[in-house]
Each structure stands twice: as C-alpha cells, then as structure tokens.
Chain A
C-alpha cells in the first residue's frame, strides 16, 4: 500500500522576475517499509522533494499525498499535526536543540503530543536504547560527537514511532565508521518497526544500504531502481 503518492509534481521558486523549476513532473509512489533514497547532484531537487513530502513546503502543481493527506491542501495546523505524529526528520547538521539535554531533545515531539510524563520517559529511554545512547541521556548536544548527535536525531525522529522518516543527507557530516553505524541503526529500525525511510543523499555509502534508489537530475526523476539484497553490510 502506498504511503506516499506523488503525481505530476512541479515545484517552482521565484528567482528575480522569473521562476526556477526545482521539480518537474515527478511521479513516484512509496510503500510502507521501504528504505529508499533520492540521489543526485546538488541542485537536483532531492531536498525540495523531501520538504514537500514532509509538509514543510507545498507543491506548485500536481498532487502529493502522504499517509492519505494531500500536502497542498493542508493548513499550517494540519501540516504541523502530520509532522508531529507521523513523520520523523533527520537532518544533515543534526539540528539538535542546543540548550536541551539529549533526553529533552528526544522528548520534545512527545511534549507537543501532551503525552503523560511516565509514558514520555518510557518512550524516550526506549528510543535512546535503540540508538545505544541511554548513558548520554543527561548530556547536552555540545558534549556529543557528530555520530552521537546524529544518533540522538534518529532517536528523536523515531521516539513517536512514525510511519515515515525523512533523512536529508544524514551522513554528510560523518566519517565512514559513524556513517555505517548510523545507517545500520536506521536499517534495523526499518526492519524491526516497519518504518518507511526516505533519504536524500549523494553519499555512495548510503546507497549501499538502500533497497530503492531514485535518481534525480535537474528536477526530474530519471531513474528508479529497486535493489535485491544489500541490507546486511558489515562496517
């Protein structure tokens, strides 16, 4: 069953007196449990597509349907609710909130859901356990390494048990060892919890883990490949 359905998507940005077309006639579908990646050079439209799927942006033309909701028709409030409950984000620069501890960073989405304190604590510790950072719960982001920071970001995206996780260049700031660790963690979560992962990347290391690769060039999806067996790579 498709949890993301993109039909004739066009995204244009105003530039000077004209428009720059970032995405042009994109038609894609993603099913539950996929571990897919958008690959392509800088400016090919990967991040723009992720942002639209994540309801952080809206299509100029066409239709993007995520978890049964049309992104173009959502109000700010509805889009925020969709992101808060059903979509997790992982960013290249981690985007951890600097004044909060690791625990509080992971807890943040649950606070917005008005979850009780006991349930929040349980969920946060479980998420930190997934990424192997329970001992860092009280640390501030400034005390973490890049790999640890990204694992916190993964825990933060996973703590609410979303249907979809969008990861924008998650390994771009990490060394090879940390990249593999991160990807393996995500792959495990994908398998264990059935969460759909959608990456944007041009990192070869990431591509080895993906079971589907969509190549973008100048805003167009030029290739859509499904891999057969690439999920158990060793670090």
Chain B
C-alpha cells in the first residue's frame, strides 16, 4: 500500500513524462477493448443471425448429408415419419429438402441449390410466408445477393433444370415471388427457396426432407435415422473465422501496446539513471533495495492504472455512443461470404474489460520490473552521489 501511494505520488510528480506514457497506454487499452468488443459484437450478431435464419436450435440431418459435399445431396433425403410430422405440426421442427439445379437467367447458366421449405414455418426468420402470398405455385423467393448476382427481380421468370430422384432431368420456369434481405450470406448466394410440397413434387420425393431444423421449443432429443447436429457444430465455421479475425486484431492492438510498453520501459531506464540520488536517499532513509525495486516497479506498473482511468474518461462515452449507433460496415459487408450485419454493435463484457485491464497491468509491471532490477545491484553510497553505475 505504501509503495502504491509513493508510486502514484512520484508518477504525478513526474508531470508530462507520465502523462505522455499514460496517453499512449490508454490508447492501446481502449483500442484493445474496442476491437475485441467489435469482434464479440460481430460474433454475437453473427451467431444470432445464423441461428435465426439458418440453423435454429440445431438440425437433424439425413445420415448421408454433408453440407460441405455437394455429391451427398442427390441421395440425402428420406421420408418424414408420422412422429416427425407431429413435431413439425407442433412447431418443434421444420423440414428442408435440398436439390441441386441449374438455372438460366437471361440465357446464362448458373448453378443453384433449390431448397424446399414449409411456407408456414415460424422457426426460421426466412420470409417463407411470401411463398403463401404469391398466387403462382411455381414461385420462389431468393436473397438480395442472389438477385443481384443473377440479375433477377420480383416477377422475373427463370428457367430451372433439375434432376428427380431417379436422375431424370426436368425443367420449368420459376417466377421470383419475393426478394429478402439477410446478413447471412450462406442462405442467400446460390439459393432459391420453394414451397417444400412443390419441390417434393418436382423431384418425386414426396413427403421427404434432407434435414429438419429444430425450433426453440424442440426437446433436441435424438430422432431415429436422423443425425443431430448441435449449434456448436453448425457454427464452427463462423467461430473459426471470428477467432482468426480476433488474432489479427490482437496483432494490431498488441503493436500499439508494445509501443506504449517501450515508452514505459524507456521511462524506467531513464528514471533509474536520473534518479540515482533519490534511490540512494530511499535506502539511507531505511528502505531495503528490494523495497526500492518494488517501488519503481509499482511506479511503472501504475502507469497502466492511470491509463485505465484516463482511458475510461474518453473510452466510456465513446463506447456508450458506439453502443447506441453501432458501426456501419456498409451494404456490401456480407459479400465476403461470412455473416456480417450491416451495422455491428460492439459488445462490452465485464470479462473483456477485466481481461484487457489485467493484461495491460501485468505487461506494464513486467516491463517496469526489468530495468528496476538494476537497483538491486546498486551501491547505495554511489547512488547517493548520483554516480553512474
């Protein structure tokens, strides 16, 4: 406690030198919290949006279905049993049937995945109700990216060719009934949504589905002949992507922190060089050399406490403001193929702030201790004279 009191007194007494270090360190601290809060905010929004729009509370897959292997789609479909049908009617599950196809918008050929969905489902945010409203039975809904990519708009008819369950080609014109906007590109790009009954009929897969999406009230119990995939499994790609981004961001804030730590290290070296008389006086007044090492270490480390306080002065209002307005990443942010909301709201958790603070305090204390060790080897008589050692 005494060391802390003396350290703060010395730091404040050092004036501008202290405040320059504190300002740089506070930038590093605020940037570290902000960047991680943005990533966490993206993560939360990304996970929530992906769950809301695509995966629900988990999915029951046909055992042969692998979303990374398009060759499995042809055979990955099976009958929806009565038990499952009861769960679908109860709003616990919603079936999705997948079929690969080719479409010819404006005469060009383009691969597309046809997804049969229940127009009445309420588990996913996907606006499947638009399929009910459209009078044309062969109408489909597509995402905004898909519409831009294929130059399709509402009311356009596009020729689609697919193969039924026996491998026979068939083709028909499908009308674009509605275009939806989503932050989840994986349900948008290259996808076309049709009523499941229509797709079942088109592919001769009556009452069949490729996977079942579980809703909030689903028990998530195992279902015979279906493989349950939980949210962790289904969000693994997003998590991996976010972790990679987090690592990259750490490099950026780490570099800023490094600059701040170098400044503290430099200040410490200079302090010990310039304040030898003071060090000698401390020893003459009854401090042990290790106490003086402790005092200088705490003094250097206390930069981080001041930096946190100073950072809070401008950081808290800035964070609160950003929390209200979010950060606009533009309309094309999701075109990278990952779930990114147009506006990301940073997420500041107590854990994030405490972890960042502890990290900064420990780093500052370590770089302060390294030069302070020299004091332990000083001869107090030479220190009193301010003699170079």
A112 located at the interface, meaning its Cβ lies under 8 Å from any Cβ of chain B in the complex: yes
CB-nearest residue of chain A relative to B14? A99
B350 located at the interface, meaning its Cβ lies under 8 Å from any Cβ of chain A in the complex: no
B13 touches A89 (CB 8 A): no
CA–CA, A93 and B281, complex, Å: 11
B289 located at the interface, meaning its Cβ lies under 8 Å from any Cβ of chain A in the complex: yes
B384 touches A95 (CB 8 A): yes
Shortest CB-to-CB span from B105 to chain A, Å, is: 76
B285 touches A109 (CB 8 A): yes
CA–CA, A80 and B286, complex, Å: 4
A99 touches B13 (CB 8 A): yes
Shortest CB-to-CB span from A84 to chain B, Å, is: 2
- A41-77 CB mask vs B (1 if < 8 Å, else 0) is 0000001100100101100000000000000000011
B13 touches A98 (CB 8 A): yes
**Among residues 25 to 55 in chain A, which have CB atoms less than 8 Å away from a CB atom of chain B?**
47-48, 51, 54
A97 located at the interface, meaning its Cβ lies under 8 Å from any Cβ of chain B in the complex: yes
B373 located at the interface, meaning its Cβ lies under 8 Å from any Cβ of chain A in the complex: no
- B353-389 CB mask vs A (1 if < 8 Å, else 0) is 0000000000000000000000000011100100000
Residue in B14, B289, B384 whose CB lies within 8 Å of A76: B289
Residue in B14, B277, B380 whose CB lies within 8 Å of A56: B380
Chain A residue total in the interface (Cβ 8 A): 28
Residue in B10, B286, B290, B379 whose CB lies within 8 Å of A109: B286
Interface centre among A85, A95, A98, A111 (most CB of B within 10 A): A95
B277 touches A95 (CB 8 A): yes
Residue in A57, A93, A104, A112 whose CB lies within 8 Å of B286: A112
**Among residues 191 to 226 in chain B, which have CB atoms less than 8 Å away from a CB atom of chain A?**
none
B284 located at the interface, meaning its Cβ lies under 8 Å from any Cβ of chain A in the complex: yes
B327 located at the interface, meaning its Cβ lies under 8 Å from any Cβ of chain A in the complex: no
Shortest CB-to-CB span from A95 to chain B, Å, is: 4
Are A80 and B280 also in contact (CB < 8 A) when A51-B381, A57-B381 are?
no
Residue in B2, B12, B283 whose CB lies within 8 Å of A111: B2
A-B contact pairs, 15 of them (CB 8 A): A48-B381, A54-B284, A56-B380, A56-B381, A77-B288, A80-B288, A83-B283, A83-B284, A83-B285, A95-B278, A99-B10, A99-B14, A104-B9, A111-B6, A156-B285
Residues of chain B having any CB pair with chain A under 8 Å: 2, 6, 9-10, 12-14, 277-278, 280-281, 283-291, 379-381, 384
